[in-house]
Amino acid sequence: MKRFLTIAFALILSAAALSAQEQASYYPRQTEWLEMAYQMRPVLHETVVCPVGAVRAVQDPAAYQGWRYEPCEGWEGMENRSFREIKEITLDFGRHYTGYFTFRIKSLRDCMDGPIRLRLLFGEMPSEMNTPLDPWPEGCLSRGWMQEEILTIINTDQDITLPRRMSFRYLKIELLGTSQSYEWAIDHISFRAVSSAKDVKTALQPGAPQIIQDINRVSIETLRECMQTFFEDGPKRDHRLWIGDLYLQSLANAYSFQNWDLVRRCLYIFAALADPTDGRLHGNVFEDPMLHPQYQNYMMTYALLYNSTLLQYIRDTGDLETARDLWPVARRQVEDALFSVGDDYIYDMARKPSWCFIDWRDGLDATACVQGAVIFGLEETYAIAEALGCTAEVKEWPKIAAKMKRAAYRRYFDKGSGMFLSNGQASVQSQMWMVMAGVPSAKEGAAALRNALSSENALKPGTPYATHYLVEAMLRCGMNDEAHDYLVDYWGGMVRKGADTFWEAYDPGNDNISPYGFTPVNSACHAWSCTPVYFIHKYPEIFQK
């Protein structure tokens, strides 16, 4: 029943965005797709876990972001010790979990004669747990993302389960208020961890190096935590399905959990929530309180990665029925991108407003990257048409792709520096997207990548997201050893710095990088960082050697 109500509500919202003349949806089956998306909602697997011990925070300049935890006494027997005396404790659950926290106030002596007030702070990272949160930086993301709950507890000896889903490894419990005239303990601490991921279907070759084993494990844990009712970008922050993250998750999923149903569900969700007036995909969607997009949030680069996800899905599953169903959506995204390609075969970002996300790196000029992303998307989508045998519909595309490649080379390649420059700016990002698009030859591309990576002035990737494409581009240019080393250095760097799951933002040279100007709000378990498992298993001869 709820499903039908929410569908009706979503349609009302969609309808509100339509002008009176255009009440028909761009895709006639969009309502049906939404219904299918609801029907495909997975049941989450649940595991009940407990803390492994108490920890003490140590401020340490050598630790990542300046803080680390070390084990201490306090967990054993906590359920029989007066919390009025403990006052504060930090518990370590041993690894990253996402789900629901339960505890109980147990009477030790006399009975409760006044409410207990507690502060619970759940966090992924030691520094997140120990950085003062107030005053909250002006203009930052919402303070509400911090997993801090102030509880007033009226009754003892009853299970208390927080309704809010938490994503964390560490939990700090602080006493804010109690009556002085009775004694009580915190008891029955447990956590119901949830994920739609289940068994890992792949295994490393015997004798794979330890660092590769570690990177693989953390990569899988990252994906597991992000796999909920859909592929979330981060279980702590955003909780959203973004196309760009979905694509990378679908690659990692193909080499780990192989949960194709969840990929298929996400493909239908985006299609169902596309703008009914013009068929454009929204860059991200939410599941609660009902499925809905972030309205008007168009991301051309991400829309094309939807098509790459569909292509990957076909290749992994052979499910051409789904591909045929969603083909109009894929074709529409390319058509929309081509609208902004001028007579000079250069993509003009000014022509139609859209967020062309490439990386979080201050000052990055994305012009060349976007040109590359459009060419890449065009070719990926043409591959879907080939699989479906409908290339006749889009027979101009290969010619357009070829012309865009030549135009890109002419416009952006700078012989002097041996790099593609984007409005004069050198960046690793520009090189890698030109490579992804097949603009340079493998040899030229490798040289351009090496030049940018070794240039002091060239901007470097700011996120694991961009780093994925860099490694992919290296592999496309035959830079196998460098791809291996880069992956081991970059993701291995996170492992060495204590990562249980891979982080949203990571710069080996700057522990305090944050897309939001405040590291505690960073997500430390982020979908777009989970791709090492894909590289490691797709190219075992390179990464497992």
- Which residue lies nearer to its own copies by CB, 115 or 493? 115
- Residue 201: helix, strand or coil by DSSP? coil
Element housing 46 (H / E): strand 45-49
Q: Which of 295, 393, 423, 443 binds its own copies (CB under 8 A)?
A: 295
Q: Tell me how far the alpha carbon of residue 224 is from its chain's centroid.
A: 12
Q: In angstroms, what is the minimal distance from the CB of 35 to its own copies?
A: 21
Q: Is 149 in the site for its own copies (CB under 8 A)?
A: yes
Q: Is 139 in the site for its own copies (CB under 8 A)?
A: yes
Q: Alpha-carbon distance 466 to 245, whole Å?
A: 11
Please state at what angle helix 320-338 crosses helix 367-388, rounded to 10 degrees. 140
Q: In angstroms, what is the minimal distance from the CB of 424 to its own copies?
A: 31
Q: In angstroms, what is the minimal distance from the CB of 108 to its own copies?
A: 13
| DSSP letters spanning 438-506 | T-S-HHHHHHHHHHHHH-SSSB---SHHHHHHHHHHHHHTT-HHHHHHHHHHHHHHHHHTT-SS--S--
What is the contact mask toward its own copies in residues 154 to 183, using x (rule: CB under 8 A)?
xxxxx-----x-----------xxxxx---
Of the candidates 144, 83, 159, 163, the residue with the CA atom closest to the CA atom of residue 118: 83
Query: Hey, what amino acid is at 345?
Result: Y
Element housing 166 (H / E): strand 166-177
- Which residue lies nearer to its own copies by CB, 10 or 452? 10
Interface with its own copies by CB under 8 A: which range of 55-63, 142-150, 346-354, 437-445? 142-150
Q: Which of 77, 132, 207, 289 binds its own copies (CB under 8 A)?
A: 289
Residue 522 vs residues 237, 271, 516: alpha-carbon distances, Å:
8, 29, 8
Residue 340 vs residues 48, 350, 354: alpha-carbon distances, Å:
51, 8, 10
Q: Is 8 in the site for its own copies (CB under 8 A)?
A: no
Q: In angstroms, what is the minimal distance from the CB of 143 to its own copies?
A: 3
Provide the 8-state DSSP code for 275: -
Q: Alpha-carbon distance 155 to 233, whole Å?
A: 37
Q: Is 291 in the site for its own copies (CB under 8 A)?
A: no
Q: Alpha-carbon distance 412 to 374, whole Å?
A: 15
Q: Is 136 in the site for its own copies (CB under 8 A)?
A: yes
Q: Which of 60, 88, 110, 489 binds its own copies (CB under 8 A)?
A: 110
Q: Is 115 in the site for its own copies (CB under 8 A)?
A: yes
**Ranges within 206-265 binding its own copies (CB under 8 A):** 238, 240
Q: In angstroms, what is the minimal distance from the CB of 310 to its own copies?
A: 25
Q: Is 114 in the site for its own copies (CB under 8 A)?
A: yes
Q: Which of 28, 144, 353, 424 binds its own copies (CB under 8 A)?
A: 144
Q: Is 323 in the site for its own copies (CB under 8 A)?
A: no
Q: Which residues bind its own copies (CB under 8 A)?
A: 110-117, 136, 139, 141-146, 148-150, 152-158, 164, 176-180, 238, 240, 286, 288-289, 292-296
